[in-house]
Amino acid sequence: MEASAEVKVLQDLIQIHSANGNEVAVAKYLQKLLATHGITATVDEFGDRRANLTAQVGAGTDKRILGLTGHMDTVAVSNPKSWQHDPFAGSIVGDKIYGRGAADMKSGLAAQVLALIKLKEADRLPAGTVKLIATAGEELGTPGAFRLAKQGVADDLDTLVVGEPTGGNVIFAHSGSMNYLVESIGKSAHSSMPARGVNAITGLLKYADVESYLFDDTPKDPYLGQVQHSVTVISGGDQVNTIPDHAKLEGNIRPTAAFDNQAVADRLHAAVDKINHQTPYQLKLDIFQDYHPISTDPASDFVQSALTFAKQHYPHPVKTDIINGATDASVFTVDRPDLPVIVLGSDAWSEAHQTDEFTTIPSFLATIQTYQDIIVNFFK
């Protein structure tokens, strides 16, 4: 397969609208592409045009299994007119290819598929098994990853490569992500007689004050640093002359291996319970997203060999690093916390979700080459 054909695959994927849905169109495109090269893929549709795709290659005589995973959805394009380049055209300008998902992460997904195709064409498929796992909904709720985890897709993996955009850097750890809702229940009254009511907004402000220092004493993770936390959404009240009886806020927390999801949840519940017992305010806590951190020894052979290959192929300096964003690996490692995981893909984490999102073609091609070397070396 020529380089121009590889770029055409990425353009094709960008041209498929899969913002927070319609992964079935991406899955069927990839299934057809893989079939053209003698690789059988299974598309698992689960309603409303959602779908996952899985495929396996390799002889299987070596019992080890290496996983490659990427997601088929993108975030939405809120204002296409603000883009200089059509977000669904895959336009090429110089060495850049533009479009929604060009970085996050149709480039990584295309590179994984193309790496398998090129290994098969070159008769370099490994003695072990490579499992391709393409997911739905990573950007919003990860329904695809949860469905696959329940089906046991990650149970037999020996290692996992996630194709999120890293600019060729080898990411060996990333934070978890917890989203939560705090509802404050008060008592309505006329604003001329506030003492007759209980102001639900004041209850939320009490929590927000506690939240600002709630994690100050948590241990510093050797790789991920301190727990990051923020109150990000707040609302309450309906009318300016009425004491509000209901208000709510949402927050996000980035757990680490040193202070994990359960420790974070315990502290949130304790803070809410304390306010409820010591004040007239009544708060209710709901944790509605709970993704775990991942961490792999950066000195391990797996991480260091990936770094060696990345240095050989990328046209710019690369390094080992960490990120604070979460990936589908957070779902796949819930029951496999010791599973070695790296995140490695094309340009660049900072381009994800941006207007005029792009990846560079040299980085995309380098990612395909790097994946091939990682696969072949893993089974030596």
Structure tokens at 293: 């951190």
Show pLDDT as tens, one digit a residue, over the chain (380 residues): 556 999 999 999 999 999 999 999 999 999 999 999 999 999 999 999 999 999 999 988 999 999 999 999 999 998 999 999 999 999 999 999 999 999 999 999 999 999 999 999 999 999 999 999 999 999 988 999 999 999 999 999 999 999 999 999 999 999 999 999 999 999 999 999 999 999 999 999 999 999 999 999 999 999 999 999 999 999 999 999 999 999 999 999 999 999 999 999 999 999 999 999 999 999 999 999 899 999 999 999 999 999 999 999 999 999 999 998 889 999 999 989 899 999 999 987 788 889 999 999 999 999 999 999 999 999 99
**In the prediction, which pLDDT does 318 show?**
97
Instruction: Residue 321: name the closest of 296, 339, 338 by CA.
Output: 296
CB 34 within 8 A of CB 117: yes
State pTM to two decimals. Answer: 0.90
**In the prediction, which pLDDT does 10 show?**
98
Where do the DSSP E strands lie in 223-353?
A: 228-236, 242-243, 246-254, 282-291, 294-295, 320-323, 341-343
**In the prediction, which pLDDT does 139 show?**
93
**In the prediction, which pLDDT does 352 show?**
84
| CA 51 remoteness from chain centre | 17
Burial of residue 176 (number of CB atoms within 10 Å: 0-12, 13-18, 19+): buried
**In the prediction, which pLDDT does 350 show?**
80
Residues whose CB is less than 8 angstroms from the CB of residue 251 and which lie 6 or more positions away in sequence, other chains included = 179, 180, 182, 211, 229, 230, 231, 232, 233
**In the prediction, which pLDDT does 211 show?**
98
CA gyration radius, the chain: 23
What are the Cα distances from residue 371, in Å, to 210, 235, 265, 282, 365? Answer: 46, 46, 37, 53, 10
What sign does the dihedral 318-319-324-328 (CA atoms) show? positive
What are the Cα distances from residue 275, in Å, to 144, 184, 240, 262, 283? Answer: 37, 11, 26, 20, 8
What are the Cα distances from residue 325, in Å, to 177, 189, 207, 259, 350? Answer: 7, 43, 25, 16, 11
**In the prediction, which pLDDT does 349 show?**
78
8-state DSSP, 331: H
**In the prediction, which pLDDT does 3 show?**
62
Structure tokens at 266: 């315990």
Neighbours of 158 (CB within 10 A): 17
